[in-house]
Chains A and B, each alone.
Chain A
């Protein structure tokens, strides 16, 4: 499985040489001379970094299988392994409800932002009209605005609409597109050969059909990246659930997890084994999502930076 790029965005700068694996290595002779000590150091550092990146997750997973008294013993393999925490947590918190709420918000947020952003991106890439560049500059400019500035008025809008306390404010804003994804998808649309659409138009496709049946299928990789990124953002968000959700039955999983920290961690009950278990349950779906869409995540992240 060679690494075929799935996001083939046109580079902003004059195209450099096609990327090749490996930084230009020093000539073979030099490499061979220094192989042993340098190589050993390289692998030592990489493995140490691997341990630092992975161990906290393993620690968390392991702790969730420990009884309360052993959570902090820092052993990787639990001394007295138990699944009691996973049983107990269903009594301690309405976890199934939280899961259901989060899945709903995540799906709606990701689908809404993907559909709306792809429409807007298509409008900015296929058509030429007066003021297009100025308008697109405005799209990019909104990315510079700190969320804090719009936080309170946005709350007041949802409050006026009677939506505070419901899940709506967590996803409905996504129906209007999001600057970052509009940028990403537009880049992708611009990379598609225009002849395809001219041919389709000659065959009698109208503007909507052109978008729906030709443009969208062709930019599937970018759509998947958008779906995955937004799913992660929606699943892990804490601030909006803190603002908008009141009744614990409407909580998302991260909001519920925060409530558990407040209740079992700080308030003196000290049931860290339950907090740890809930953390695993909150994190695991994201790990699964990552392994399902791994290549898309990595390619998507790599692409977002190269524009710089």
Chain B
């Protein structure tokens, strides 16, 4: 009886779909409440003046106009771009260098991997505190070491030209996670590719350039994108070190990252409408940067199965 079979199949399919949706329902619910509605409402708030206490007051595009006029928006954006442009290449570059070295550490690889990852377990608040202490211009460890080599260290935490380089250097302390990711990628490079290159008489540098780099370019690309997005939203370390209730001692403009300024606008000055507009500008900027990186990356990244890099 073909009719019944079709019927049972269909009801089975329907039951399958129902059960699948039951399993997925927590995410659907969460998506509607904590993602979709917030996106829409944030878009609406960005067109209003809102201080939580009074109802939102529709102001049109005034917040977006103000974005272009508030010098601190521009300042925080410049600070953030500077930080990302400096920290991401250093982060990925040094992580790659360490991963390459770890490949040659043989049986000690496991030990170094553990050691290199340990700073990643340190809470970002503690990293911010370490930054203040280690980079202290007068009695910090960093300048003590520099002094040992005869280099006079700057006032990393108070001199506005050196605050961001200090933040960048401190951020490099937690690149162990990327080293581990790259190590895994290097381990996945098929060995016969190296054997083939050796037979062709390729030098170590040539093997690195023509075998290693193309084979891990996908992972490198992934790390650049992920770390750029994270750097653009950098908050905790700089906020801990340079902002907060008690800090009136020195200028912290140089450490004013975009998300720090957004956070202060939203939760310290209660300019929720303006802060929402700031959030959308950040979203647009991150999307634009990611898109550029993606376009450039497509040209540079080698995907297995394609003809070349």
Contacts and interface: CB of A to CB of B under 8 A. Distances in A.
Given A130-B17, A146-B286, A153 B37 contact: yes
Contact of A152 (B129, B279, B287): B279
Contacts of B33: 157, 176
Nearest to A115: B26
Given A54-B118, A74-B141, A159-B52, A177 B27 contact: yes
B186 A56 contact: no
Between B125, B221, B249, the greatest number of chain A beta carbons within 10 A of the residue's beta carbon is seen for B125
B245 to A, nearest CB: 4
Interface in A230-279: 232, 235-236, 238-239, 242-243, 253-254, 257-259, 261-263, 265-267, 272, 275-276, 279
Interface in B242-287: 244-249, 259, 262-263, 266-267, 272, 275-276, 278-280, 282-283, 286-287
A23 B100 contact: yes
B124 A116 contact: no
B247 A266 contact: yes
A152 B20 contact: no
A255 B250 CA distance: 22
Interface stretch (A79-87, A89-97, A282-290): A282-290
B84 to A, nearest CB: 13
A135 B185 CA distance: 29
Interface in A23-78: 23-27, 42, 45-46, 49-50, 52-57, 59-60, 63, 71-74
Main secondary structure of the interface of A (DSSP, over half): helix
Contacts of B13: 129
Nearest to A41: B101
A104 interface: no
A46 B106 contact: no
Interface stretch (B57-65, B67-75, B232-240): B232-240
Interface of B: 13, 16-17, 19-24, 26-27, 29-31, 33-35, 37-39, 41-42, 45, 52, 98, 100-106, 108-110, 112-119, 121-126, 128-130, 132-134, 136, 139-141, 144, 173, 176-178, 180-195, 198, 204, 207, 212, 218-219, 221-223, 229, 232-233, 235-236, 239-240, 244-249, 259, 262-263, 266-267, 272, 275-276, 278-280, 282-283, 286-287, 290, 303-305
Given A128-B16, A151-B279, 16 more contacts: A14-B304, A24-B207, A57-B119, A119-B24, A142-B35, A154-B34, A154-B38, A236-B123, A253-B123, A257-B125, A257-B129, A261-B240, A262-B245, A266-B248, A282-B126, A290-B121
14 contacts: A17-B192, A23-B189, A23-B194, A25-B104, A49-B98, A52-B173, A53-B115, A74-B141, A120-B26, A129-B13, A236-B123, A275-B129, A305-B222, A306-B184
